[in-house]
Amino acid sequence: MFLAACLAPLFAFSGSFQVPPEQALRAFAESLVGEHAYEMRMFGNKIGWAVETDRIEELDGRPTLLHQSRSKMVVGSSDGASRTFSRSRDWFALEGDGELLLREKWEVEDGKETVTRVQRTPTGWTAEVTASGAERRWEVPEVKQTLGNRRDSLAWLNAPRRRGEQFHAVAFDLDHPDPNRPEVTTFLSVSNELVGGKPVQLFEVEVAMDGIELHVWTTSLGHFQRGQAAGVLEFEAGVPESVTDFEATGFDLFQSTMVVVDGTLGNPATVERVVLAIEGPEDFHLPVSRRQEVENTGPGTWKVTLRRGRDWGDPAPLEEAERVASVRSDHRYLCEDPRVSGTARRIAGDSESAVAISGRLQSWVFRNLRGVLNDNSDNAVQVLECQAGDCTEHALLFVAFARSLGIPAREVGGLIYFDRGDGPRMGWHAWAEIHDGRQWVGVDPAWNEVRLSPTRLKVSEDPFDGSWTKALGKLSVRVVEVERR
C-alpha cells in the first residue's frame, strides 16, 4: 500500500495565496508543458519507473491543461514477479482556479484491470470504478486539487523560505474514504547543482501524508530530481528512454524487509504470552489494546507484551461513528455486489454470533484462496474471481464478507513470527479484526485462525495509515520472555 501512496502527486496543494488573474493561470499552465521521468529503487534494486507529461489540450472544446502519468512496477517474490502498470490523465480548466474537470485512470495489476473515472458535473463530482465486471458509481466531495493549487504551492516553494516553514495542503486520493487528504510540506534547504551539465536550483523538502514521509529534492516546477519515501523507496530523475528500459527483477520485497528475531518462541500453538524488547525510530507508534500492551522504555525502545486472544470480560462497545465506518462498503469491498454478499450469506449459514460467523468466513477464505505473492487484486470481486492472493487479499475478502453481513470489521497489519529452519524471523503481514459487540477480535484468514496467538505484533489498525513504513529496515526485536500453555 505504501508504494502506491508514495507515487501520489506531491504538489497537488490547496492554499490561501492571492489568486492571480486568469491569464496568469494560462501562462502558468504553459510553463509546465514538457516531460519528466524518474526510476524507482528499493534497497538498491530497480523496481519501476514513472513518466509525467503536461500539455495544453482542448476537452469538449474547452482549453485545458492535460497532466498525464504512466508508471510500471515489478516486485519479485518466491512465487514470481508481481507487475503493475498504470496510466492516468487529469484535465484542468484554464479559468478560475483551474478546477479538475476529468480524471481517467487505467491500471493493470497482475493481469487484472481497473478503470477509474472522476468527472465534474453541473452539481458536483462523480466517481465511477469498473473492475472484473463490477461497477460502482457515487458522488464524491468537492475535489480540492486544482491547477491553482499547484501554482500556489510552487509560488510558496520559490519564495524566500526559512528551514522548518510548512505549507499545509490537501491532496485528492479517491481510494481513501475521505478523498481530500491533509498534506504537509516542510522546507529544508535550497541549493544549486549541475544536472545534465546545466546549473539547476533544487529545493529540499519533506512531505507527509497519511503517515508516509517523503524526503525529496525537486525543481522549481515541482519535478523530482531525487529522493526517498519511507526510508526505503528511492527515486531519481532520468531520460524517459532510459528509465523505461526495464522488464523484470529478482528483488524479493518480503525477504528484504524481514526482521531477524533475537530468540525463539518455539511452537506458536503453545504460546500464551510473549514479552518483546523492540528498538526502532523514536517516532514509531505501536497500537495499544488488551491483547497488546506497550511500554516506552526509552528513546526508540519499547517493551511489548502480547497475549493470546480471548474474551477480556469488560465490554468495550463501539462508538456509533466507528461502527458506521466499520460496516461501510466502498469500491474495494463492494459489499453490495451479489457475488460478495451472496457468497457471505451462504458461508454463514445458520450461525448466529459474530465470532461464529467470522470463523466460518475466514475458514472458507483460507480453504478457497490459493496463497501466492504474485496475484494481487484491487477489490473483493477480483479476489473472488481468481481465488488467489497473499495475506492482503485474504484480509480484504474476509472484511468484505463480514461487512456485507453487517459485522463491523477492519484490516490491520504488522509483523508475524515464523521460523522456517533458517532462524526466527518476523515478516510484514496483514490480517483482520471484527467487533463482536463487546470487543475487537483478531481473525487471520491467511492462517485459518480466530482469537490469535501472541505471535503477531500489530502496527496499524487502518489500511490507509502508512506511518508503519518509517520502521521498514529499522526494527530490531528480542525475545525477553515466553509463557506457554
Say whether 49 sits in a helix, a strand or coil. Answer: strand
* Residue 61: Cβ-neighbour burial (10 angstroms; 0-12, 13-18, 19+): exposed
- CATH architecture designation of domain 257-484: Roll (3.10)
**pTM of the model as a whole:** 0.89
DSSP state letters, 403-434: HHTT--EEEEEEEEEEESSS-EEEEEEEEEEE
Q: pLDDT value at position 250? A: 65
The Cα–Cα gap between 263 and 150 comes to 51
- With contact defined as beta carbons under 8 Å apart, do 98 and 86 qualify? no
Q: Kindly tell me the number of DSSP H helices and DSSP E strands found in the chain.
A: 10, 26
The Cα–Cα gap between 67 and 151 comes to 14
**Hey, CA dihedral for 369, 375, 376, 378, is it positive or negative?**
negative
- For the chain, 485 residues long, the average pLDDT of each consecutive 10-residue run is 34 34 80 94 89 96 96 81 92 94 94 94 93 88 90 91 92 88 94 89 94 92 90 90 79 85 92 96 92 96 96 88 94 94 96 93 97 88 93 97 97 93 92 95 96 94 87 93 93
Looking at residue 146, the DSSP 8-state letter turns out to be B
Cell of 152: 500556489
* Residue 254: Cβ-neighbour burial (10 angstroms; 0-12, 13-18, 19+): middle
Residue given cell 492482503 in the structure block:
392
Residues near 342 by beta carbon (within 8 Å), at least 6 away in sequence = none
The Cα–Cα gap between 431 and 398 comes to 9
Q: Where are the beta strands (DSSP E) in 76-197?
A: 82-93, 100-109, 112-121, 124-131, 134-140, 166-172, 180-195
CA of residue 260 relative to chain centroid, distance: 24
For β-strands 388-389 and 409-419, DSSP reports them as unpaired
